[in-house]
Amino acid sequence: MYDLVIKGGTVVTSTDSVKTDLAVKNGRISAIGDDLTSESVIDAREKLIMPGCIDSHTHMSLPVGINCSSDDFYTGTVAAACGGITSIIDFSVGDPARSIPEDIRLRMKEARDSVIDYSFHGEVLGWKLGHEEEFREAVEMGITSFKFYTSYAASGRRSDSGILYNAFKEIARLGAVAIVHAEDENLIESILSGMSEQDLGRMENLAVSRPDLCEGSAIDQVAFYAEQTGARLHIVHVSSALGVDRIGFAAERGVLVSGETCPQYLLLTRDVYKGSQGHFFSASPALRESVDQDVLWDALKYGLIGFVVTDHCPFTKQQKEWKGSFLNLPYGLPGVETMLSLLYSEGVEKGRLSINDLVRISSEHCARTFGLYPQKGSISIGADADLVIFDPKVKWVIRAGDLHMNTDFSPYEGREINGKVEHTLSRGEVIVKNGSFCGNAGRGHFIARKI
């Protein structure tokens, strides 16, 4: 006897869409076929059944200067579940006084209230040559990806060329993944040095100070180190056509490179900085132009950019109070609760993506990249029953006050959307029912990933 049967929905994978039943037992998918029965049934007629989304780029409880991102691991994962996300990969918070494994252990304690499954990327901050065992120990803990920055020197996050090259060598030896926030800080600083206080006081100059040239230049640099060391390289939050071009150039040379983008770069342009609420949109990289959006959508369609994540790093309006300069703002936007609906409404409904593309870019490809597949990101026998039942016919309007994210701002406020999450299952347990969260704090499991 099955624990649960989902009946009559259209099961969607990256390759197929089939109207059938799906059965769950002991937290895993146990059968897919017609006329399955159970005492517990969910009627999914006229609904889509998809693998739960995986968001491999979130920042819960992240300290940013004097601020902290406004979602913790409980509120943020509740919002994620309500948006159809069933697993996240967050980040350790690096400290030069600690080792990478120590950072990870501290972050595990902070994540204990998560309602969905979670893992981490190890943030590389203050690492020195001769400490290669930190990467090996982290891999043994189940952390198989490590984050580097080519900017943010003032906060100690930037890795210089020597650190990048030598760390990439060890990461390649282990078979792990180097993930990079790619912005050329020298170029950014040179632009800022030519700006007056009046220039810094205009929010629209954020985009001027961090142009696509900075993204393209940094991608070229780290791709060269990946080429020389054989490391697998992943570029986070690709924002521009130039960034896509440089990833393509590296891939043509045989570099093991992948990339991700975010809804904000697909749907918003730098024009939002000109409004009275422009400062609420502060994020890095900066928002670009509509031509960049077109290239990013095509890159997703044809696989040059592998998947979409949110870079979820929310702040309240009070935290983003304007203090006279775009340099004085915390950078980050909320997104975990709206990603899937936005991708369906703006991607599938508008013909930019197929429904199978949606599964690939919201779940499967991310799982493959970061060592979660086929336990996650798959509708197959034996996979975790992380599932979303999605109603494509629901029409709704995004309002920050109606969402579960712990912020009073949404970058998509007032946007009309087609399609909404009805139920979310995590390891076979219904944690969102008819759009309402019904799970428990702390039910999420840490996912030890494999090379």
The sign of the dihedral angle between the CA atoms of 27, 30, 36, 42 is positive
- As a whole number of angstroms, the distance between CA 277 and CA 173 comes to 47
- As a whole number of angstroms, the distance between CA 373 and CA 366 comes to 9
Q: Which single residue is written with the structure tokens 């704090």?
A: 441
Task: For the chain, give every domain's residue range.
Answer: 4-50+383-405+418-435, 54-369
Whether the Cβ atoms of residue 272 and residue 279 lie closer than 8 Å to each other: no
Q: What percent of the chain has pLDDT over 90?
A: 98
Q: Residue 313 pLDDT > 90, yes or no?
A: yes
- As a whole number of angstroms, the distance between CA 224 and CA 160 comes to 14
User: Could you read off the pLDDT of 196-225 as tens digits, one per residue?
Assistant: 999 999 999 999 999 999 999 999 999 999
- Torsion of the alpha carbons at 177, 224, 215 and 249, rounded to the nearest 10: -100
Average pLDDT of every residue of the chain: 97
Give the per-residue pLDDT at 155.
Answer: 87
Q: Residue 384 pLDDT > 90, yes or no?
A: yes
Nearest to 277 by CA among 236, 333, 239, 234: 333
Nearest to 285 by CA among 213, 220, 336, 215: 215
- As a whole number of angstroms, the distance between CA 384 and CA 329 comes to 40
Give the per-residue pLDDT at 323.
Answer: 96
- As a whole number of angstroms, the distance between CA 347 and CA 180 comes to 26
- The residue type found at 295 is V
- As a whole number of angstroms, the distance between CA 230 and CA 313 comes to 31
Q: Which single residue is written with the structure tokens 């691991």?
A: 73
Crossing angle of helices 133-140/100-110, nearest 10°?
30
Q: Residue 189 pLDDT > 90, yes or no?
A: yes
Q: Residue 359 pLDDT > 90, yes or no?
A: yes
Q: How many CB atoms lie within 10 A of CB 20?
A: 17
- Phi then psi for residue 446, to 5 deg, are -70, 135
Query: For residue 159, what pLDDT band results from cuts at 50, 70 and 90?
Result: very high
Q: How many CB atoms lie within 10 A of CB 147?
A: 23
Whether the Cβ atoms of residue 60 and residue 407 lie closer than 8 Å to each other: no
Whether the Cβ atoms of residue 176 and residue 234 lie closer than 8 Å to each other: no
Query: For 153, which DSSP code?
Result: G
- As a whole number of angstroms, the distance between CA 116 and CA 439 comes to 9
Whether the Cβ atoms of residue 436 and residue 106 lie closer than 8 Å to each other: no
Q: How many CB atoms lie within 10 A of CB 67?
A: 16
Whether the Cβ atoms of residue 155 and residue 187 lie closer than 8 Å to each other: no
Whether the Cβ atoms of residue 317 and residue 408 lie closer than 8 Å to each other: yes
Q: Return the SS3 of 393.
A: strand
Query: For 48, which DSSP code?
Result: E
Kindly tell me the burial class for residue 17, based on how many C-beta atoms sit within 10 Å of its own C-beta (0-12, 13-18, 19 or more): middle
Provide the β-strand partners of residue 257. Answer: 233
* Secondary element (H or E) of residue 188: helix 185-193
Strands 307-308 and 387-397, sheet pairing: unpaired
Strands 387-397 and 416-426, sheet pairing: antiparallel
- As a whole number of angstroms, the distance between CA 397 and CA 409 comes to 14
Q: Compute the radius of gyration of the chain from its Cα atoms.
A: 21
Give the mean model confidence (pLDDT) for residues 6-27: 98
Nearest to 48 by CA among 9, 15, 22: 9
Q: Residue 422 pLDDT > 90, yes or no?
A: yes
Give the per-residue pLDDT at 65.
Answer: 86
Q: What is the DSSP string of 21-35?
A: EEEEETTEEEEEESS
Give the per-residue pLDDT at 1.
Answer: 87
CATH class of the domain whose range is 4-50+383-405+418-435? mainly beta
* Secondary element (H or E) of residue 228: helix 212-229
**Per CATH, which fold does 54-369 belong to?**
TIM Barrel (3.20.20)
| Cα 408 from chain centroid (whole Å) | 21
Query: For 371, which DSSP code?
Result: T
User: Could you read off the pLDDT of 227-286 as tens digits, one per residue?
Assistant: 999 999 999 999 999 999 999 999 999 999 999 999 999 999 999 999 999 999 999 999
Q: Residue 437 pLDDT > 90, yes or no?
A: yes
**Does 4-50+383-405+418-435 match 54-369 in CATH topology?**
no
